[in-house]
Structure 1
Amino acid sequence: MTNFPRGTALVTGASSGIGALYADKLARRGYDLILVARSQDSLTRVAKEIAQATGRTVKTVRADLGQRNDLLKVERILRSDPTITILVNNAGVGAVEPLLMSDVEAMERMIAVNVTALTRLVYAVAPSFVAREHGTIVNMASALGIAPEILNGVYGATKAFVIALTLSLQKELAEKNIRIQAVLPGAVETPFWEASGGSLDRLPDQIVMKAEDAVDAALAGLDMGELMTLPSLPNIDDWDAYEAARQKLMPNRSRNVPAPRYRTPALAS
């Protein structure tokens, strides 16, 4: 990130937790801010604290990204503000109950924020970044995106979507000088967990990361040029092996005949 122009960072879900920490740390790196979240009171408090501590310009936009009119308002800002150089797609809705214990309406609302809103914000900002030949898009995924069988499968599926979209964006935009990153944290000590219906008290301390440590790791991963940053992964070679296994499937992903194991003789009648 240090090789790219500063400017304005638009951070969604910025009223608390990871989003507020991203905002603070980006301001300390020299970015002005546009903070987006549902709670104006919390946004105002965070903005005031960051502006006083850093001297940066901090604007707030109250928006519920699950509501179309609010989402369109943020899209218009991304399309029209030429100072924006980084989008942090952090806003998200969580769930921990298994599928059969979850309300489908709540799952649809989660998809609206985690998938639809994130996608539309990418679509809103990417053309401007390409036209200016610089910009950074950070998408908040989750370690559950590669382990959707743990906890709520719909939540894991939304984060798997974020990972897949990020991979596609990297292929499409990297040569246009656009930086792309997905962040895949595990359990993090923020209000998000309780808001999702869970309790950090039920988890072993050794698997729960402090939010500031997670954001510091994510920013370090961005500085190092990582496409996928797993803050708790000790050895990046493990991710590289995971990706190499995925790439090994590619030559055989589409052929004109079934694989030999499916060409079985008809069962005797």
Structure 2
Amino acid sequence: MSKSTQGTAVVTGASAGLGRVYADRLARRGYDLILIARRGDRLAEIAAGIQAQYGVNVSTIAADLGKEADLESVASRLEADDSITLLVNNAGVSTVAPIGGTTRAQFDAMNDVNVNGMARLTYAVLPKFIARNAGTLVNIGSILGFAHLPGATIYSGTKGYVNHFTRGLQNEVAGTKVRVQLVAPSATATDIWELSGVPLENLNQEAVMSAEDCVDAALAGLDLGETVTLPSVEDATLWKQFEELSGKLFAAAQNRRPATRYA
């Protein structure tokens, strides 16, 4: 019998990196789990270990969220499961290359998984959370959703969508008991770097956070009630300043006349 006290948490991209750590930490907190990733064999191994250690129920779904049929199958399953109380949209794809050096398959994969997959699974659970006035959505964005670097144009664009989409949802659930958290890490030690074509050892190791530290910081931010968690940013006032400047820019744009510099 499950020892769950929190309902069921869904974690995508759960076979490695942040997803695997989230699975462990959420099981420790008393959640049953639904783990989703492409690598079914690794999922089964992780599930067995978590069940043995924490005594919660763990089910797995081997699926490629970049494939429409797989995505719809997963979404339908989540829509039908009323035990789900938390979703971590962690699955992501990255290719570090200029757009001219990116294949069409790589281009599509980043958009299909990072944008469409995240949005579709959000839509599968969030309306039910709102209807019952309870539930938590965690979307893993990126600091690159607020910035841009050479070779990361497509990835930054997809994470910009995640960041803004999640912030918009936060406005929609304001005043309810539904939680929506945006986590925006910087460089993190996961296998996404190798898959992106950039060996992890090529990075400045002083700027790379461990997956464990990143997830633990993200969950601490959730416990603190943060809507946006920047795991590696020490000065929290920087986010406040960023938000204030964004608001000023938006307010300044509400003008029917062209700026005088264009006269």
TM over 0.5: yes
Q: Does 1:87 align with 2:87?
A: yes
- Please state whether the residue corresponding to 2:136 is helix, strand or coil: strand
- For residue 208 of structure 1, report the CA deviation from its aligned partner: 0.9
Deviations along 1:10-61, one digit per CA (max 9) or x if unpaired, are 0000011110100110000010000001111000001011111100000001
Match of 2:198 in 1: 198
Asked if the contact 1:174/1:180 (under 8 Å) is kept, the reply is no
Distance 2:100 2:262 in 1: 33
Match of 1:266 in 2: none
Equivalent positions of 1:231-250 (< 5 A) are: 231-250=231-250
Deviations along 1:189-215, one digit per CA (max 9) or x if unpaired, are 111211111111111110111110011
Match of 2:230 in 1: 230
Q: Does 1:56 align with 2:80?
A: no
Larger Cα-atom Rg: 1
Deviations along 1:99-133, one digit per CA (max 9) or x if unpaired, are 22211331112100000111111111111101110
- For residue 237 of structure 1, report the CA deviation from its aligned partner: 0.4
- For residue 258 of structure 1, report the CA deviation from its aligned partner: 1.2
Match of 2:255 in 1: 255
- For residue 69 of structure 1, report the CA deviation from its aligned partner: 1.2
Match of 1:67 in 2: 67
- For residue 150 of structure 1, report the CA deviation from its aligned partner: 4.4
Distance 1:62 1:174 in 2: 34
Match of 1:41 in 2: 41
Match of 1:163 in 2: 163
- Please state whether the residue corresponding to 2:174 is helix, strand or coil: helix
Q: Does 1:20 align with 2:20?
A: yes
Distance 1:72 1:118 in 2: 12
Match of 1:154 in 2: 154
Counting aligned pairs with the same residue, the percent is 47
- Structure 1 consecutive aligned stretches of length 4 or more whose deviation exceeds 3 Å: none
Q: CA RMSD in A?
A: 1.2
Distance 1:228 1:104 in 2: 32
Asked if the contact 1:148/1:155 (under 8 Å) is kept, the reply is no
Q: What letter matches 1:118 in structure 2?
A: M
- For residue 147 of structure 1, report the CA deviation from its aligned partner: 1.6
Distance 1:77 1:154 in 2: 30
Asked if the contact 1:141/1:159 (under 8 Å) is kept, the reply is yes
Match of 1:98 in 2: 98
Match of 1:267 in 2: none
Match of 1:144 in 2: 144
Q: What letter matches 1:58 in structure 2?
A: V
Match of 1:174 in 2: 174
Deviations along 1:192-250, one digit per CA (max 9) or x if unpaired, are 21111111111111011111001100111111111111111001101111111001112
Q: What letter matches 2:235 in structure 1?
A: N
Return 148-157 or 77-86, whichever deviates more: 148-157
Distance 1:242 1:57 in 2: 41
TM-score where L is the length of structure 1: 0.93
Structure 1 residues without counterparts, runs of 5 or longer = 264-269
TM-score where L is the length of structure 2: 0.95
Distance 1:191 1:149 in 2: 20
- Please state whether the residue corresponding to 1:137 is helix, strand or coil: strand
Structure 2 residues without counterparts, runs of 5 or longer = none
- Please state whether the residue corresponding to 1:175 is helix, strand or coil: coil
